[in-house]
Amino acid sequence: MTGEAVRVLAVDDVPTALDDLCRLLRDAPEVSDVVAAGDAVSALKRLQSEEFDAVFLDIAMPGLDGLEFARLLTKLAKPPAIVFVTAYDEHAVAAFGIGAIDYLLKPVRPERLADALARVVRLTSAGSSQGSAQPASQQPAPDALAALPVESAGRTRYVSRQEVRFVEAHGDYVRLHSRSGVHLVRMPISRLEEYWADAGFVRTHRGFLVALAAVRELRSDSVGGLLAHTDLGDVPVSRRHARNLRERLLRAAQRGELHQGTAP
């Protein structure tokens, strides 16, 4: 669809929550039309016969939940923008991993809804300007985890991957050590390693990842162990991972990619 006004499909199995979401969407100047669906199956039927710019959906739904439904949406020839609206913050990383453009916590604040709709409008406008020059199957997949959402005191901020020097495991969470501080995100370090491996993050230890571009040097500690030194501190390197790290650093140095993440 073209223009700034967007058409939205709202999906939630709780009638009062669905009514509230539809009311907020209809009050938004960016929205031209809102269609409601009380479950994922009904929503799929609407998507088979109608075109929508965005789908705003809950996660905790019976049968097909929001995350499963979103994965189906990404397989469409022209998938709509996906915005999750949920009472639970622990699914944010999985949602962005699927390709969601925003993650709203209930009760939805008007300013957060406006932010999400602005993203939908930008995405829709960009898609319209591209036309049909490049088939959808050939378009590059979005880099969904280039930034991670961090929830604190009812507010959401996004920590850019480029800010992060190293990552430390903390149970089911990870600590992101960045220039803006240390941020706690609910996600196993093994999962984050999968997402960020192609972006230059390397496992140095059972509990640590480091950005190759942030490593200034390798040094020995007081007991002969190996440390990867960054501007935000030293990262332990186990014997198991030392060789791989050295080889990756050498290749990065040859390509001129080291120390790119250390600018203030």
Residues of the chain with CATH 2.40.50.1020: 150-254
User: Residue 219 and residue 202: Cα distance in Å, rounded?
Assistant: 17
pLDDT in tens, 109-120: 989 999 999 999
Q: Model confidence at 132, in pLDDT bands (50, 70, 90)? A: very low
Number of continuous H segments (helices) and E segments (strands) in the chain: 7, 15
Q: Which residues contact 262 (CB under 8 A, 6 or more apart)?
A: 165, 213, 214, 216, 230, 231
Q: Indicate if the pLDDT at residue 139 is higher than 80.
A: no
Average pLDDT over residues 138-159: 65
pLDDT in tens, 198-247: 889 999 999 999 999 999 999 998 888 899 999 999 999 999 999 999 99
User: Residue 141 and residue 129: Cα distance in Å, rounded?
Assistant: 18
Residues of the chain with CATH 3.40.50.2300: 6-138
Q: Which residues contact 2 (CB under 8 A, 6 or more apart)?
A: 124, 128
pLDDT in tens, 149-186: 777 776 777 888 999 999 999 988 899 999 889 999 87
Q: Give the CATH number of domain 6-138.
A: 3.40.50.2300
Pairing of β 173-178 and β 164-170: antiparallel
Q: Assign domain 150-254 to its CATH superfamily.
A: LytTr DNA-binding domain (2.40.50.1020)
Q: Which residue did the predictor score with more confidence, 133 or 80?
A: 80
Q: Model confidence at 261, in pLDDT bands (50, 70, 90)? A: very low
Q: Model confidence at 128, in pLDDT bands (50, 70, 90)? A: low
Which pLDDT value is given to residue 227? 96
